[in-house]
Chain A
Amino acid sequence: MGVEGIGARVVRKEDKRFITGKGRYVDDIKLLGMTHAHFIRSPHAHAKVKGIDSSAALKMPGVVAVLTGQQLVDDKVGNLICGWAITSKDGSPMKMGAWPAMAPETVRFVGQAVAVVIADSKNLARDAAEAVVVDYEELPAVADVHAAIKAGAPQLHPEAPGNQVYDWVIGDEGATDAAFAKAANVVKLDVTNNRLAPNAMEPRAAIADYDAAEEHFTLYTTSQNPHVARLVLSAFYNIAPEHKLRVIAPDVGGGFGSKIFIYPEEMVALWASKKVGRPVKWTGDRTEAFLTDAHGRDHVTHAEMAFDANNKITGFKVKTYANFGAYMSLFSSSVPTYLYATLLSGQYNIPAIHAEVIGVYTNTTPVDAYRGAGRPEASYLIERLMETAARQLKVDPAALRRANFITQFPHQTPVIMAYDTGDFNASLDAAMKAIDYAGFAARKAQAKSQGKLRGIGVSCYIEACGIAPSKAVGSLGAGVGLWESAEVRVNPVGTIEILTGSHSHGQGHETTFCQLVADRLGVPISQVSIVHGDTDKVQFGMGTYGSRSAAVGLTAILKAMEKVESKAKKIAAHALEASEADIVIENGEFKVTGTDKAIAFPMVALAAYTAHNLPDGMEPGLKESAFYDPTNFTFPAGTYICELEVDPGTGKTSFVNFVAADDFGRLINPMIVEGQVHGGLVQGIGQALLEHAIYDVNGQPVTASFMDYAMPRADDVPSFNLSHTTTLCPGNPLGIKGCGEAGAIGASAAVINAITDAIGKNNLEMPATPDRVWRTINAA
């Protein structure tokens, strides 16, 4: 593999700027003449906007403008869109309520913007915002999905009667009913998947700069996918044609899905910068992040699983209500459908599955893809059900899983997905060994003698990543293709620039992508740089989400590399007077195999550009590009086992051990992969124990700061014991499956299974706060 090649634990090239305070995030950027925006946001969950009086504010010092939603409408700025069309079971299209970037008439969640103040400084903008008088007429509001679908509930959108976004089904209902009719045992479970606030540590921010002479916009923004942002801003929001809009996503302080979407603030900043003729900067604060970053999860589900007399699963029925919040965010429609219900087979051989998903509007912050996006909800449901089944059927939970594992690949599930490869027994074995599963009973007894309740919980997850084959997602309603692009630019001196459509906001692309080049050409990674995050520099690309950057983005780089290598070999063969077929690449040299004839890679590059001695008909230069469209999803899978203790006096959970055995296919940099897993696991633990974005019955957010929303801190979580069991992904040449979301997908069920094992009661909702655990222990 070489010291810097594939599989090497190379320390990150990008770290130096971050550890020395030289990272460059959007809020670090200042432009000449820059103004500052402060949004005026609704304090009501549902209200009519009857009037906005900005006369007093306009007289305040430093105020440049106060702009309202009506002006946006007047200027024909488009409404926000949802880019994945879902069809209900009755054949009707999903019901999309209009979502203007600032509300001209009606606000539907607390925090929705109605106007913006543009001023010379952030403080002056905020001072003036308080002088803007908005006349609201409050309307009845609804925050809970079940309340929202009741007759007589407050209605959010005229387009969506009964507050229903869609009623979508997947699977074979008849076959599933038949399985239940013959079942020896049926296991039932009601599960709530708690709403999460993303909370990337860097709040969202945007700087828009309009150049009137060129009629050109530049947008610096906190985005995971600057090209998608440009496309949407251009094609749907009428900001500017694509060639007149440059989107730059510099260093971005975490995304987790929440920075995929194009938000009202970016649209308004662009529009406003043209209106006021100066750059406009907006930097959100944490409260705005809680109110306006698209939330995650929020499902209420009833599920039933049928078993035969041998404890084999024969059928699975699921009905899920998905809370969309007040509007359909950019990819929201796909999350509880194609990213959730298609994973309901888990790691198990289930002959018949039927799922119904009802999307519901409520007067809450919009919900969209977040750190796993649909797959955590699926995995949590299945793994809670398997645990519940084991308890009901009185069999060992690991054994029940093993008895139902899929062992033959490829495997077509009844819910679209075709698993290409895997070895679920291997990861279960590895995790059980790592945690000494066999010795648990003795440890539990020992803990009991010390007054502690000890539990163990297993979770065998599978996810679909490498998102996604364009043709497949197109047929399912996606508005875009989900391929990735790359360009490999070899400079005349042999240094290399890789232009990628992927975007790194913590994933370490600047290191791992270089490792591929080092692996293939034998050049040191210091000779390679990664260019990303700027639509003026990089060809159109799709960005980073869904654990796709290695499986899709890096494969695109590989494809471009292969073209570069092919041309370089021709040049080398010509220079060495050898046959192209005899040229091999070793340690940075192009060699004639079996001889000592060689030419160093920089000399090949130089030859390509001097063009003095190229093969006849060859174009000068050494630069190639590729677009890679995956042929299938990838299917990372693994087993997490958690051992913990509950303090019966307080209900507080303390971790004893947490092991993870993952199959991510080939690892480019195990150190970075492990880091991705650690972070995901803590998100899963956070959801299980701490995090919950709560609204009261009137739609008022209860958790809009870190004072109320419990973020996992260092002393809430354990260190982890990780291992890998590898089956190479056959769908891409590098054999990569992806690792970014696994922890968040698999960990929650392990934690809840362990707590419920410890306390001897099966029904416990997330987050399992000490209060809730204590109450469950003491319930009659």
Chain B
Amino acid sequence: MSTVKLTVNGKAVAVDVEDRTLLVHLLRDHLNLTGTHVGCDTSQCGACVVHMDGRAVKSCTMLAGQADGANVTTIEGIAKGDELHPMQAAFRDNHGLQCGYCTPGMIMSAIDIVHRYGGQLDEATVRHELEGNICRCTGYHNIVKAVLDAAGRMKVSQAAE
């Protein structure tokens, strides 16, 4: 057992876990942040993506200990109170989700994509960059639309800040 200290969604936490605990299980089982999902065993599906120190990572492919001292943001931490993150709003407005299971990982990956590309996104780029997130419901069409829509919204909201 080790104590892992990290900041999750802006809050400092210290959690006692077995060393074999994955970050995703620290979040889900110990912090009850069940928005981060597990959809595969092989780091392929992306349902578990969270942001660690500003980068979108697969929380099923990190030991909790590797996140010691890190700043982690999950799907539960991106809205500002009742105000949805522009990516969340874009997923809703473009019907970018159906069963919702891949959605948190998709949104976290998508925010990272927009951060990296800014306004320079096109459909082909979005599709390529979503390579690490699998969805079985939507056929990706509306997810791609949502990411492109959000890229515009995030640019506007950044400009406003």
Contacts and interface: CB of A to CB of B under 8 A. Distances in A.
Contact of B92 (A15, A287, A720): A15
B40 A15 contact: no
A28 B41 contact: no
Interface string B102-120: 1110010000000000000
A505 interface: yes
Interface stretch (A234-242, A532-540, A671-679): A671-679
B88 to A, nearest CB: 4
A624 interface: no
B117 to A, nearest CB: 15
A201 B139 contact: no
A505 B136 CA distance: 12
Given A15-B91, A16-B92, A22-B35, A717 B140 contact: yes
Contact of A201 (B42, B102, B130): B102
A144 interface: no
SS class, residues of chain B in contact with chain A: loop
A711 B134 contact: yes
A91 interface: no
Given A201-B102, A285-B41, A705-B40, A23 B35 contact: yes
Contacts of A414: none
A675 B28 CA distance: 29
B143 interface: yes
B144 to A, nearest CB: 7
A376 to B, nearest CB: 15
A714 B140 contact: yes
A671 B137 contact: no
Interface in A593-635: none
B101 A286 contact: no
Given A21-B75, A28-B34, A706-B40, A678 B141 contact: yes
Contact of A713 (B95, B130, B141): B130
Nearest to B130: A714
Given A200-B99, A678-B140, 11 more contacts: A11-B93, A16-B92, A20-B76, A20-B88, A23-B103, A201-B37, A201-B47, A286-B39, A678-B139, A712-B140, A713-B130
B155 interface: no
Interface in A503-552: 505-508
Interface string A252-264: 1111100000000
Contact of B99 (A20, A24, A203, A505): A505
A705 B40 CA distance: 8
B131 A713 contact: yes
B2 interface: no
Contacts of B44: 705-707, 711
B133 interface: yes
Interface stretch (B51-59, B61-69, B121-129): B121-129
B137 A506 contact: yes
Interface in B21-39: 28, 33-39
B134 A201 contact: yes
Contact of B100 (A18, A672, A678): A18
Interface in A705-725: 705-707, 711-715, 717, 719-720
B148 to A, nearest CB: 11
A194 to B, nearest CB: 17
A720 B130 CA distance: 18
Contacts of A651: none
B139 A20 contact: no
A679 B107 contact: no
A671 B76 CA distance: 26
Contact of A18 (B97, B127, B143): B97
B134 A671 contact: no
A21 B139 CA distance: 21
Contacts of B39: 201-203, 286
A714 B133 CA distance: 8
A19 B137 contact: no
A517 B126 CA distance: 38
Interface residues of A, number: 59
21 contacts: A17-B100, A19-B75, A20-B75, A21-B34, A23-B35, A27-B34, A201-B137, A251-B100, A287-B41, A507-B98, A674-B142, A675-B95, A677-B139, A705-B41, A711-B44, A711-B134, A713-B134, A714-B128, A714-B143, A715-B127, A719-B141
A712 B127 CA distance: 11
Interface of A: 11-12, 14-25, 27-28, 123, 199-203, 251-256, 285-287, 505-508, 671-672, 674-683, 705-707, 711-715, 717, 719-720, 743
A21 B40 contact: no
Contacts of B40: 286, 705-706
B154 interface: no
A20 B41 contact: no
B35 A707 contact: no
A715 B130 contact: yes
B133 A253 contact: no
B85 to A, nearest CB: 9
A679 B131 contact: no
Contact of B107 (A19, A202, A672, A711): A19
Interface string B135-153: 1111111111100000000
A743 B18 CA distance: 46
Nearest to B39: A201
Given A201-B102, A715-B131, A682 B140 contact: yes
A19 B92 contact: yes
Given A253-B101, A682-B139, A714-B144, A123 B20 contact: yes
A711 B46 CA distance: 13
SS class, residues of chain A in contact with chain B: loop
Contacts of A714: 126-128, 130-131, 133, 135, 140, 143-144
A243 B125 CA distance: 54
Contacts of B124: 715
User: Max chain B CB contacts within 10 Å: which of A20, A672, A706, A719?
Assistant: A20
Given A21-B34, A286-B39, A678 B138 contact: yes
Contacts of B47: 201
User: Max chain A CB contacts within 10 Å: which of B28, B99, B143?
Assistant: B99
B74 A21 contact: yes
B84 interface: yes
A42 to B, nearest CB: 19
B13 interface: no
A85 B123 CA distance: 49
B99 A743 contact: no
A552 B81 CA distance: 40
Q: Which 3 A-B pairs have the closest CB atoms?
A: A21-B35, A253-B101, A18-B100
A155 B130 CA distance: 46
B109 to A, nearest CB: 10
User: Max chain B CB contacts within 10 Å: which of A201, A286, A711?
Assistant: A201
Contacts of A24: 34
Given A11-B92, A506-B99, A201 B41 contact: no
A201 B97 CA distance: 12
B35 A12 contact: no
Contacts of B12: none
Given A201-B134, A286-B41, A720 B139 contact: yes
A671 B92 CA distance: 11
A11 B131 CA distance: 26
A20 B84 contact: yes
Nearest to A672: B95
B110 to A, nearest CB: 11
B14 interface: no
B156 interface: no
Contacts of A254: 98-99, 101, 136-137
A506 B41 CA distance: 23
Contact of A675 (B41, B42, B123, B142): B142
B45 interface: yes
Contacts of B92: 11-12, 15-16, 19
B145 to A, nearest CB: 8
User: Max chain A CB contacts within 10 Å: which of B34, B107, B126?
Assistant: B34
B100 A506 contact: yes
